[in-house]
Amino acid sequence: MQELDPTILRKVNSWLQGSYDADVKQEIQKLLDQGAYTELTDSFYRDLEFGTGGLRGTMGPGSNRINKYTIGAATQGLSNFLKKTYPGEKIKVAIAHDSRNNAELFSRITAEVFSANGIHVYFFKALRPTPELSFAVRLFDCKSGVMLTASHNPKEYNGYKAYGADGGQFVSPADKAVMDEVAAIGSVDEIKFTRVDANIEEIGEEVDKLYLDKITALSVSQDAIKRQKDLKIVYSPIHGTGITLVPKALERFGFENVILVDEQINPDGNFPTVIYPNPEEKEALTLALKKAKEVDADLVLATDPDADRVGIAVKNTNNEFILLNGNQTGSLLINYLLTAWQENGKLTGKEYIVKTIVTTNLIEEIAKAKNVKFYNTLTGFKYIGELMTKFEGKQTFIVGGEESYGYLVGELVRDKDAVVSSAFIAEMTAYYKDKGSSLFEALIKTYLDYGFYKEKLISITKKGKTGAEEIKEMMEKFRSNPPATLGGSKVITLKDYEKGVETDLVKGVTAKLDFPLSDVLQFITEDGSIISARPSGTEPKIKFYCSVNGKLASAAAYEQTDQQLELKIAAIIKDLGV
């Protein structure tokens, strides 16, 4: 008969005997009585880690779950950090939440703990997108901000994203200092839950107006929009926060024919019409694509629950709707913006763009051709935000993005922003339509000009304690025994971001990588393919990013070349053995 590990049983008993609500104790006791030891193990085998981006996990009782107490401990630890970092100062924070189940409850608990610690809270009185939270941190000169969201995770999840004074998620060394303060909360009795009303100030529509005014001012192709104002745009917020701002942003930009997916416009944490509320998944866009076919749309837009990421669909040359991946959309958006800035005489030599190391190198080629500076960062938009803060007032950020459908235009926030991105993707579509081109044709032209880059993401889920151990073993295996060839091409470079070392496998020489340490491996082959292995920081997954490229001889050769690159990716995946 299976028994509960003594260490875990002690932790379970500490909750049963501690200052926790009666209903929480009752739920834990029920699991004990049922002998649900696997669930209890996963709920208590560790404290839910306050990582570099905050908390994310499934909801429920236990130290490894999202609940009132793990949210409270995170906020108490963050409060302690802020008071130590800004002694004697009036500390202000902003708080928002998305449409997830319990997100509003958790946001109120967060506000209450901050208020009990003497911190002034700007509290969004209704759900709002993540980028607006980042905007509010900067607007109100806050020292921190918190967004209650689990982004695109399934409905069982919730999370807590913590932001610094620049409106970006915490980066080193502050992230580690916050983590240490959260980890130092040794007892639930240390958490101050008693609300102080005077320290909580509600905000809402007035912030919306300021934010929308400022993103509308960023538009660079208003003449094209005026001529294409009837562009048919189908939009779905997938039951999330996007409904609060994306339609308004499109209207502000000048688009008069935005068609909403009625079945998905109401915020709902159960996400009843989709399996996963993730615009990366084709299934999540099923209803939007159906509507697009009915109305013969020019563009489909769909945002995730906290509206920081956007997926799009466009018509191909056969008049069929296809989904573009994050690399394709990012490349199109960056190429469009650099072209439009160039045409408008706005490029002065001080501008720059940013992408992450697992995002397509097509973006790099575009920037080089336009003579615009580009930077690579580690995966995670906080690193893009960090760079923006570093260069603020010295260089001008135009646009940045990452392959996971997150983009940012302009310097108003320090996180990926599906509101401003949706508006600019629509503007880009109008710009190309005004020139007699579809977005898909613009993509093929990009490949003709700069090379055909094709990417694929392989994501493997490994849940629970055993899953975390398996992911660790996989990374150790690749680290100690890298593949000699991938897809028939010799691996010539190994980049180990955890060790901070790049190794030339042909010459046997090493060089230092100028990046913060991170558990990422990159294999670069002789033919220019790049394969990256990276455990997810927010989900129980290990991800493999495959990027291959070749020359596109003509638009007519698109499908044949695409198939050849697809076969190369398949061969790489086979060689990886994943």
What pLDDT digit, counting tens, does each position of 207-256 carry?
A: 999 999 999 999 999 999 999 999 999 999 999 999 999 999 999 999 99
Cis peptide before 516 (omega within 30 of 0): no
CB atoms within 10 A of CB 93: 30
DSSP string, 18-54: SS--HHHHHHHHHHHHHT-HHHHHHHHSSPPP-BTTE
**Res. 277: pLDDT tops 70:** yes
pLDDT for residue 155: 96
Cα torsion 403, 404, 409, 413: sign: negative
Separation of alpha carbons 258 and 216, rounded Å: 17
- The segment(s) of the chain belonging to CATH 3.30.310 are 453-576
Determine the Cα angle at 379 with ends 487 and 145, to 5°: 160
- The segment(s) of the chain belonging to CATH 3.40.120.10 are 46-203, 210-450
Determine the Cα angle at 106 with ends 417 and 160, to 5°: 45
CATH class of 210-450: alpha beta
Rg of the chain over Cα atoms, rounded to whole angstroms, equals: 24
**Res. 1: pLDDT tops 50:** no
Q: Residue 403 — φ and ψ, nearest 5°?
A: -65, -20
Q: Which CATH number fits domain 46-203: 3.40.120.10, 3.40.50.10190, 1.10.10.1200, 1.10.3720.10?
A: 3.40.120.10
Separation of alpha carbons 194 and 62, rounded Å: 22
User: At 538, is the pLDDT very low, low, confident or very high (cuts 50, 70, 90)?
Assistant: low
Separation of alpha carbons 243 and 241, rounded Å: 5
CATH architecture of 453-576: 2-Layer Sandwich (3.30)
Q: So which residues are the catalytic ones?
A: 151
Q: By C-alpha distance, which of 421, 428, 535 is closest to 130? A: 421
CB atoms within 10 A of CB 263: 14
Residue located via tokens 């940013």: 354
- The arithmetic mean of pLDDT across residues 262-282, rounded, is 97
Is the CB of residue 428 less than 8 Å from the CB of residue 399? no
For 535, the token pair is: 């455990």
Is the CB of residue 380 less than 8 Å from the CB of residue 537? yes
User: How does 206-216 read in b/e, with b if 16+ C-beta sit within 10 Å?
Assistant: ebbeebbebbb
pLDDT in tens, 25-81: 999 999 999 999 999 999 999 889 887 779 999 999 999 999 999 999 999 999 999
Model confidence, pTM: 0.95
